[in-house]
Amino acid sequence: MAMYTSAYTPASGRDGIQAQSLAWSTDDGTTWTKYSGNPVIDIGSREFRDPKVFWYAPAKEWRMVAVIANEHKVLIWRSTDLKAWTRLSEFGPRNATGGVWECPDLFPLAVDGDPTKVRWVMLVSLNPGGIAGGSGTQYFVGDFDGTTFIADGPATYEPPKGTLLQGFENGYAGWTPTGTAFGSQPVAGSLPGQQTVTGYVGQRLVNSFVDFDAAQGELTSPSFTIDQRHLNFLVGGGRHPAVPGATQGDPGGEVFTDFETLDPANHLPAGWSATGDFVGYGATSSGLPYHQGEKVLDSCVVPDRCDLATGTFVSPEFTVTRGYVNLLTAGGAHPLGASGPTVVELVSGDRVVGSVTGNSSGDMDWRHIDARSVIGQKARIVVRDDNSSGDWGHLMVDDIRFSDSAAGPRDTQTTVNLVVGGEVVRSSTGSDSEALDWASWDLSDLQGRSAQIRVVDHSSGGWGHILADQFMLAPSPAKNGTERASWVDHGRDNYAGVTFNGLPDSQRTTIGWMNNWQYAHDVPTSPWRGQMTMPRTLSLVSTADGPQLRQTPVAAVEKALVNRDKEQAKVRSLAAGVKPTGLEATVARVEVRVALGSATEAGVVLRRSADGSVGTRVGVRRDGTLVVDRTRSGDVAFNALFASLEKAPVTVRDGEASFTAYLDRSSVEVLAQGGQRSVTDLIYPPASATGIAAYAVGGTAKAVDLKVTPLRP
Please check the confidence at residue 213 and state whether its pLDDT lies above 80: yes
Task: Tell how far CA 616 is from the center of its chain.
Answer: 20
Which residue type does 50 have?
Answer: D
State whether 539 and 583 are in the same domain: no
- Work out the angle at residue 662's Cα, subtended by the Cα atoms of residues 107 and 535, and round it to the nearest 5 degrees: 25
Domain closes at, from 403, 425, 460: 403
Does residue 470 belong to any structural domain of this protein?
yes
Tell me the pLDDT tens digit for each residue of 513-570.
999 999 998 899 888 877 999 999 999 999 999 999 999 999 999 999 999 999 999 9
State whether 265 and 343 are in the same domain: yes
Given this model, what pLDDT does residue 24 score? 97
Does residue 1 belong to any structural domain of this protein?
no
Given this model, what pLDDT does residue 492 score? 98
Q: What percent of the chain has pLDDT over 90?
A: 91
Strands 33-34 and 351-357: unpaired
State whether 571 and 703 are in the same domain: yes
Domain closes at, from 444, 478, 512: 478
User: Which of these ranges, 294-298, 338-342, 585-589, has the smallest mean pLDDT?
Assistant: 338-342
State whether 280 and 341 are in the same domain: yes
Mean pLDDT of the chain: 96
State whether 140 and 189 are in the same domain: no
pLDDT band at 611 (very low <50, low <70, confident <90, very high): very high
pLDDT band at 713 (very low <50, low <70, confident <90, very high): confident
pLDDT band at 372 (very low <50, low <70, confident <90, very high): very high
Does residue 176 belong to any structural domain of this protein?
no
Tell me the pLDDT tens digit for each residue of 438-480.
999 999 999 999 999 999 999 988 899 999 999 999 999 999 9
CA distances from 285 to 172, 255, 256, 263, 473 (A): 41, 19, 19, 15, 51
- Eight-class DSSP state of 492: S
Given this model, what pLDDT does residue 250 score? 84
Does residue 18 belong to any structural domain of this protein?
no
Q: Are 370 and 317 in contact (CB under 8 A)?
A: no
State whether 260 and 389 are in the same domain: yes
pLDDT band at 290 (very low <50, low <70, confident <90, very high): confident
Q: Are 77 and 104 in contact (CB under 8 A)?
A: no
- The CATH number given to whatever domain includes residue 305 is 2.60.120.200
Give the closest residue to 412 by CA, choosing from 588, 607, 213. 213
- The CATH number given to whatever domain includes residue 532 is 2.115.10.20
Q: Are 67 and 101 in contact (CB under 8 A)?
A: yes
Does residue 119 belong to any structural domain of this protein?
yes
State whether 589 and 694 are in the same domain: yes
pLDDT band at 506 (very low <50, low <70, confident <90, very high): confident
State whether 472 and 599 are in the same domain: no
Give the closest residue to 141 by CA, choosing from 131, 132, 133, 149. 149
Tell me the pLDDT tens digit for each residue of 409-435.
989 999 999 999 999 999 999 988 898
State whether 265 and 291 are in the same domain: yes
Tell me the pLDDT tens digit for each residue of 645-699.
999 999 999 999 999 999 999 999 999 999 999 999 999 999 999 999 999 999 9
Tell me the pLDDT tens digit for each residue of 143-173.
999 999 999 998 889 999 999 999 999 999 9
Report how far apart the first and last C-alpha atoms of the chain are (Å, whole number): 32
CA–CA dist 364, 344 (Å, integer): 14
For residue 216, the enclosing domain spans: 182-246+412-478
Q: Per-residue pLDDT averaged across 118-146, rounded?
A: 97
Given this model, what pLDDT does residue 678 score? 99
Given this model, what pLDDT does residue 527 score? 81
Q: Per-residue pLDDT averaged across 335-356, rounded?
A: 96
Does residue 11 belong to any structural domain of this protein?
no
The count of domains in the chain is 4
CA–CA dist 141, 108 (Å, integer): 9
Does residue 39 belong to any structural domain of this protein?
no
Given this model, what pLDDT does residue 389 score? 84
State whether 585 and 504 are in the same domain: no
Task: Tally the residues of the chain.
Answer: 713
Q: What is the 3-state secondary structure (H, E, C) of 112-155?
A: CCCCCCEEEEEEEEEECCCCCCCCEEEEEEEEECCCCEEECCCC
Does residue 201 belong to any structural domain of this protein?
yes
Domain closes at, from 454, 478, 502: 478
State whether 359 and 464 are in the same domain: no
CA–CA dist 14, 9 (Å, integer): 7
Give the residue ranges of DSSP H helices in 438-510.
481-484
State whether 82 and 144 are in the same domain: yes
